[in-house]
Every structure is written in structure tokens, then in C-alpha cells.
Amino acid sequence: MRAIAAAVMMSLVVVGTAVVVPAAPREPQPGEPIPVLREIEKQVRAGVPQGWTVTVKGDTLTVRRKQPVKVFHHVPNEPARPADFDFKKDRERRAVAETFAITVRFRQRVSQELYRDWQKVNAQRAEKLEAWRRKLQEARVGHKFDEYVPTTPEQKRLVAAYRKAQKEIPSKRLPFGYTRTCSIDMQTSLSRGFGHTLINKAEERECKQVHKRIVGLFRAY
């Protein structure tokens, strides 16, 4: 029996004359997702008022207001208005009802040193893309914000090269904040476009208070 057991053990680690060594687990990289920290989840659940929900899925914690808020999304380059124009009434008329939610995604800890290195990478990207935009301006390529409308073959070549640079020049997604063991990204459901205004002041105060409590759980870089 001992001889059989020994043979079985040998068969687990030897193939021919080669020893099979299990692969070492891959080291997690800074910025990779990790599960939501339970201690943070507990603090969030304890801090939100009635009328809000807290859900956790994988690396993401979401805090959501059950009732929608009334919000006006700002639009750039609106036409000039007369002196007596009622902006408040106009915003109320154009406002829409939307869900307000705060999303926190947990990541492997990004050190202060690495964060500064990533900032440099992003600064270099911004500098290079700005140089491209100057070239486009010198070539008189028509545009609205970052949408270019080339008309000549040379302009089309420049715009294609600019789009290629946008894809190829490295960039880093900087985390919003960190704890002792992890980093996080954070955004709200209204974090888009050119800004927004909550029409109802009580709703605005409530959303700001909840957002401030969650931000306060993390340290800023």
C-alpha cells in the first residue's frame, strides 16, 4: 500500500523526468477592480437617509435616491436673451425628471508616487494633443468644440492624424480617492455634459449632503 501511495504522489508531480510546478498567481496591478470593502459598505448604509438605497455588485457600490430629481442640463452657446428674460422659469420649463445616483468603484491601491507618475502621463498627452489642435487651427479646419469638419484633402489628412493620436497617445484613469488598502473611482448619474442645476432646492441640499458623506469616507490624492 505504501508503494502504491508513493507512486500516486509521484504521478501528481512528475511527467516523464520533468517536475510540474504550479504557476504562481499573477500579482494584481494598481487600478484593477477589487470587491467592495465591507467596512465602507457598512458606513455608507449607516449614513444615508430614508428614501435612498444602497446596492453592491462586484467592485461597485451604488447609492440611489428612490424618487427622481428635477434637473436642468446646461447647453453651451445658447442664443442671446433679452434683458428681461426669466431664466428661472425657462429652466423650470425645460427641466426633466432623472434618477440621482452615486457610483463608487473599488480598485487596487494606486500609491501617491504612481498617481503623480500617471498625472505626468496625462499632462504629456494633453500637451501633445494641444499641439495637434494648433496645427488644425493653423490649417483653418472648421470645428465645433472637438468635432472637426475638414473640406480639403490636406485638412482631412490632418484630422485623421489627430484622431489617430487621440487613440494612440497613452493616458491613465486617475482614481478619485483612496483608503488604506484601495483606491476608488466616483461619479454621479449627472456627471456629464456642460453642468446641471437641480430645480428643487430641498432635493439639491439632500443630494449634496449624501454625496458629501460618501466623499468623506475617502482620502484625496
Helix, coil or strand: residue 62: strand
Rounded Cα distance between 8 and 3, Å, is 9
Write out the H or E segment, with its range, that includes residue 73: strand 69-73
Which residue is it, cell 436642468? 72
Task: Kindly list the distances between the CA atom of residue 21 and the CA atoms of 15, 27, 80, 103, in Å, as whole numbers in the listed order.
Answer: 11, 18, 73, 42
Specify the amino acid at residue 31: G
The HSE-up count of residue 210 (CA atoms within 13 Å, CB side) is 25
Instruction: Tell me what pLDDT residue 12 has.
Output: 46
d(CA 209, CA 94): 25
Q: Residue 129 has which C-alpha cell?
A: 494633443
Pick from 173, 191, 41, 54: nearest CA to 107: 173
pLDDT in tens, the chain (221 residues): 455 445 544 444 444 555 555 665 666 688 899 999 999 999 999 999 999 999 999 999 999 999 999 999 887 777 788 888 888 888 888 889 999 999 999 999 999 999 999 999 999 999 999 999 999 999 999 987 778 999 999 999 999 999 999 999 999 999 999 999 999 999 999 887 678 899 999 999 999 999 999 999 999 99
Query: How far is the C-alpha of 52 from the C-alpha of 44, rounded, in Å?
Result: 11
Q: What is the distance of C-alpha 161 from the center of its chain?
A: 27
Other residues' Cβ atoms within 10 Å of the Cβ of residue 143: 13
**Terminus-to-terminus CA distance in the chain, angstroms?**
63
In contact, 183 and 165? CB cutoff 8 Å: no
* pTM, full prediction: 0.77
Q: Give the per-residue pLDDT at 14.
A: 45
Scored b (16 or more CB within 10 A) or e, 82-114 reads eeeeeeeeebeeebeebebbbebbbbbbbeeee
